[in-house]
Amino acid sequence: MNPLLSRRDFLTGAAVTGVALITGPALVAAEHPSLAAADVDFPLVDYHVHLDQVVTLEKALQISKERGVKFGIVEHAGTKENKYAGLLSSDEDLERYLAMLEGKPVYRGIQAEGLDWMTCFSKSAVAKLDYVLSDALTFPEKDGKRVELWRPWVQVEDKHDFMERYVDFNVQVIAREPIDILANPTFLPACIQKEHDTLWTPERMDKIIHVAAKYGVAIEINSNYRLPTLAFLQRAKKAGVKFSFGSNIHGLGVGMLGYCLEMTKELSLKRTEIFTPAAAGQKPIQRRDFS
């Protein structure tokens, strides 16, 4: 197995060729017959869409139109220590990326990698994006090494020590980065995923939720991993946190928001509780102090 393969190569979800395209309101009915399109009072947006050899920009635009789901396109961004095809690591890279999507009916975002990603870009360049999405899946170990938690071979020796450090890192991602969305929330390595509900105690959930509320960072409802759980989302809603939808599916399953719609019904989410990109002058890079 190639150790340089990115996380997108491990995301299976519905990413298979030959997935039938379902259109508009039919997407809601097909995925969840109990949730009528009329129950959603806001436009459907998938803010976690990556382009690749299967889902090119042209294909993404076609799927977006046919499914009635607007796409937010994100590309990985950060230092060259992060091994991703198409990685954005300079203002020049970012400008080319923005130009590629200019005038297209999509939102333009990045998936920030590592706490040091801002060293690559100027504030003015980041402010041109519609939004910034980040997560805690590239996790710094005690020796400083970056561990890619989505890798199936990752092992955790001390679960509770890991959880304390992992929760603290989630808090840092939200507090120290100019981000709009925390993606893949509460994800755990494969070796401890079966203990998800036990390891994510109310106290650990609340640490992340409270800092997200403090800094106005939305929590992604991820339809690929089916995370966070309803228990987490209920606590986040009570705290006033907003939510975004993300498929994070690499392949023709992009825009399939079944779990997001299921949680929308469970939580009775309304337009005011759903993330929308900030206006110019109000983006996190502009309204928060990172000096």
Mean pLDDT by 10 residues, the chain (291 residues): 47 42 50 53 95 96 95 96 91 98 98 95 98 96 90 95 98 97 98 98 98 98 97 98 94 93 96 97 92 65
What pLDDT, on the 0 to 100 scale, is given for residue 250? Answer: 81
Residue 185 within any structural domain of the chain: yes
What pLDDT, on the 0 to 100 scale, is given for residue 1? Answer: 36
Neighbouring C-beta atoms of residue 216, cutoff 10 Å? 17
The whole model's pTM is what? 0.89
Residue 158 within any structural domain of the chain: yes
Residue 3 within any structural domain of the chain: no
CATH for 130:
3.20.20.140
Residue 18 within any structural domain of the chain: no
Residue 91 CA, distance from chain mean position:
22
**Helices 24-31 and 258-267 meet at what angle, rounded to 10?**
80
Tokens standing for 155? 């092992």
Strand, helix or coil at 164? Answer: helix
229: exposed, middle or buried (Cβ count in 10 Å: 0-12, 13-18, 19+) = middle
Which one-letter amino acid corresponds to residue 276?
Answer: T
Residue 22 within any structural domain of the chain: no
Residue 219 within any structural domain of the chain: yes
Dihedral sign of CA atoms 191, 197, 199, 200 in order: positive
Residue 97 within any structural domain of the chain: yes
Residue 28 within any structural domain of the chain: no
What pLDDT, on the 0 to 100 scale, is given for residue 224? Answer: 95
When divided into structural domains, the chain yields a total of: 1
Decide the pairing of beta strands 146-148 and 131-134. Answer: unpaired
Q: Which range of residues forms the domain containing residue 181? A: 35-284
